[in-house]
C-alpha cells in the first residue's frame, strides 16, 4: 500500500530521520543522542546520497570501499578510520628519520656539555687567580728602619707552611736573627722564630721577621753599614698555600752590595 506521496512504506522508512526510525516516539522532544545521530545521517546523505550502502565516490578512497550512513566510510576521511595507506607511508618516513634525529640530538647534547665544561673550567681558573696570594720579603737599611719584613701583596690569604733561612748553604734555621753576627754598632730588637706549622697572612699584611737599631752612643751610619754586611748572602725560602691548597714557593738571596 502506497503512502500519501506515492512511496512505499519501506521507502518512506528509509527517508525518515534516524531518530524516528528507531522505534515508537516516546517523547515529543528527541534526546541528544538522537539529534546527533540525525545530524550525522543528514551530512552523510548530503555527501553520498539517500541510500544506505554505496561505493565511496571520493577519488582518494580505496577502490571498492563501502560505507553506510550510520558508520561512514572506513577508508576515507568521511568515517572514523584514517586512510591506511597514507598512515603507513607517514609512519615509515618517521621511522627513517628517527635515527638521524637521535644522532643530531646526541651530538648537540655532547657539544653543550663540552661547552659547559670549558666555561666552568675558565670560571674556576679566574676564581683561583682572583684570590691568589703573593708573598715577598723586604730588606730595609736606613738609620730609622733596619729590618727584614715579610709581606703578602696578593689578593688572597697566604698560608705559610715553611720558613727556612741559611747562609752559604749551611744548616737552615727558622730564625733570621740566629744568622746575624754580633756588632758593636747595632743591636737586635726582635726576631721571629717560625716554629708553628702554619702562619696566615691576609692580603696587605706586613711584619718584620727581624729588626735592629743603633746602639746608644754609636753613629747610625756605622750601624747601617754593619747591618748591611750582616745580611749579605743570607738565603730565604718560603713555602705557602692559597685557600684552594695550591702550593707556591718564594726564594731570594739577600745581596746588599752594589
121 backbone dihedrals φ, ψ, rounded to 5° = -65, -45
CA atoms within 13 A on the CB side of 128: 12
Select from 156, 181, 162 the least CA-distant residue to 236: 162
What stretch of H or E contains 256? none
Cα dist from 36 to 18, 42, 140, 142, 233, whole Å: 10, 10, 105, 110, 109
96 phi and psi angles, rounded to 5 deg: -70, -35
- For residue 152, which of 198, 194, 190, 200 has the smallest C-alpha distance? 200
113, 105 in Cβ contact below 8 A? no
**Full pLDDT tens readout for the chain, 258 residues:** 444 444 445 444 444 444 444 444 444 566 666 666 666 666 655 555 544 444 455 544 444 444 444 444 544 544 444 444 444 444 556 666 777 788 888 888 888 888 888 888 887 777 777 889 999 999 999 988 999 999 999 999 999 999 999 998 889 999 999 999 999 999 999 999 999 999 999 999 999 999 999 999 999 999 999 999 999 999 999 999 999 899 999 999 998 775
Measure the CA–CA gap between 172 and 167, rounded to whole angstroms.
8
Q: Which of 50, 54, 62, 60 is nearest to 17 (CA)?
A: 50
**And the C-alpha cell for 166?**
741559611
d(Cα 208, Cα 200) in Å, to the nearest integer? Answer: 15
pTM of the shown model? 0.54
Q: Show Cβ contacts of residue 68 under 8 Å, excluding neighbours closer than 6 positions.
A: 52, 53
Which of 42-51's residues contact partners 24+ apart within 8 Å by CB, and which partners? 42/17, 44/69, 44/72, 44/78, 45/69, 47/78, 48/78, 50/14, 50/15, 51/14
- CA 86, distance to chain mean position in Å, is 45
Please say whether the beta carbons of 74 and 67 come within 8 A.
yes
DSSP per-residue codes, 12-32 = HHHHS-HHHHTSS---SS--H
Amino acid at each position: 500500500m502506497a503512502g500519501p506521496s506515492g512511496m512505499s512504506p519501506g521507502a518512506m522508512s528509509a527517508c525518515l530521520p534516524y531518530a524516528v526510525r528507531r522505534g515508537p516516539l516516546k517523547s515529543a522532544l528527541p534526546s541528544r543522542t538522537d539529534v546527533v545521530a540525525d545530524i550525522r545521517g543528514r551530512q552523510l546523505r548530503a555527501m553520498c546520497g539517500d541510500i544506505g550502502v554505496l561505493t565511496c565516490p571520493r577519488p582518494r578512497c580505496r577502490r571498492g570501499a563501502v560505507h553506510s550512513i550510520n558508520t561512514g566510510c572506513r577508508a576515507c576521511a568521511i568515517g572514523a578510520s584514517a586512510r591506511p595507506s597514507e598512515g603507513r607511508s607517514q609512519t615509515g618516513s618517521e621511522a627513517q628519520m628517527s635515527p638521524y634525529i637521535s644522532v643530531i640530538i646526541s651530538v648537540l647534547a655532547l657539544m653543550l656539555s663540552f661547552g659547559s665544561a670549558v666555561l666552568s673550567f675558565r670560571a674556576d681558573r679566574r676564581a683561583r687567580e682572583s684570590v691568589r696570594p703573593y708573598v715577598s720579603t723586604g730588606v730595609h737599611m736606613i738609620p730609622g728602619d733596619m729590618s727584614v719584613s715579610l709581606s703578602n701583596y696578593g689578593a688572597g690569604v697566604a698560608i705559610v707552611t715553611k720558613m727556612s733561612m741559611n747562609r752559604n748553604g749551611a744548616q737552615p734555621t727558622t730564625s733570621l736573627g740566629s744568622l746575624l753576627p754580633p756588632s758593636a754598632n747595632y743591636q737586635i730588637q726582635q726576631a721571629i722564630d717560625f716554629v708553628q706549622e702554619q702562619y696566615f697572612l691576609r692580603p696587605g699584611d706586613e711584619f718584620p721577621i727581624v729588626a735592629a737599631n743603633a746602639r746608644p752612643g754609636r753613629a747610625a751610619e756605622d750601624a747601617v753599614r754593619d747591618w748591611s754586611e750582616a745580611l749579605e748572602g743570607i738565603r730565604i725560602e718560603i713555602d705557602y698555600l692559597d685557600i684552594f691548597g695550591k702550593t707556591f714557593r718564594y726564594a731570594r738571596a739577600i745581596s746588599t752590595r752594589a
